[in-house]
């Protein structure tokens, strides 16, 4: 269940220091207290928690599928993909340059606003240039590139053909 994973990673992450976990609890307790005190708790539930547990889960599922699905590789260069979609795809799936997901995995310290610059520099490296770069989610809009779905399905079909041979 995707909601369970979201809660586990964002609230009960074992990688996160206890001080940060406690800070999160106090943050949310203060938000909830203020919303009750100033009588906007219904809006908090309706416009924050309901979308977080419904729409956001669907959007993140599709975004993470675009970033990782079908890519099982020990080499970090081939374990995620960059996705360059149309403006609607970017708005919903990758609003903060997370479409440069491969760059993010290779260099997690680079801030989101510099990922595009890093990508352009990395494109000079033949190994990086040959990694997974998809244009579009369902359909590619550039010749010579795969869409995310084509990349996932193509790799599945290639593995299936090898098993049959």
88 in the same domain as 153: yes
Tell me if the pTM is above 0.75. no
Backbone phi, psi, residue 142, to 5°: -125, 135
48 in the same domain as 71: no
151 in the same domain as 84: yes
Backbone phi, psi, residue 83, to 5°: -130, 125
Residue 88 pLDDT greater than 70, yes or no: yes
At a CB cut-off of 8 Å and minimum separation 6, what does 95 contact? none
3-state SS class at 133: strand
Residue 158 pLDDT greater than 60, yes or no: no
48 in the same domain as 128: no
At a CB cut-off of 8 Å and minimum separation 6, what does 123 contact? 129
Over its C-alpha atoms, the chain yields an Rg (Å, rounded) of 19
Residue 32 pLDDT greater than 60, yes or no: yes
Across the range 152-162, mean pLDDT stands at 61
131 in the same domain as 84: yes
Question: Considering its fold, how many domains does the chain have in total?
Answer: 2
Domain span holding position 105: 65-164
For the chain, what is the mean pLDDT? Answer: 86
């Amino acid at each position: 269940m995707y909601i369970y994973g979201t809660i586990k990673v964002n609230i009960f992450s074992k990688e996160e220091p206890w001080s940060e976990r406690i800070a999160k609890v106090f943050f949310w307790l203060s938000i909830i207290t203020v919303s009750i005190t100033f009588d906007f708790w219904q809006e908090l539930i309706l416009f924050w928690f309901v979308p977080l547990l419904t729409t956001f889960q669907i959007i993140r599922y599709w975004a993470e599928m675009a970033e990782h699905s079908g890519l099982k590789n020990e080499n970090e260069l081939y374990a995620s993909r960059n996705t360059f979609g149309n403006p609607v795809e970017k708005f919903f799936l990758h609003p903060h340059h997370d479409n440069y997901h491969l760059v993010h995995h290779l260099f997690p310290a680079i801030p989101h606003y510099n990922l595009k610059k890093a990508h352009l520099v990395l494109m000079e490296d033949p190994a990086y240039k040959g990694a997974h770069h998809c244009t579009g989610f369902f359909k590619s809009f550039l010749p010579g590139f795969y869409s995310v779905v084509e990349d996932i399905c193509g790799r599945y079909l290639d593995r299936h053909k090898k098993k049959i041979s």
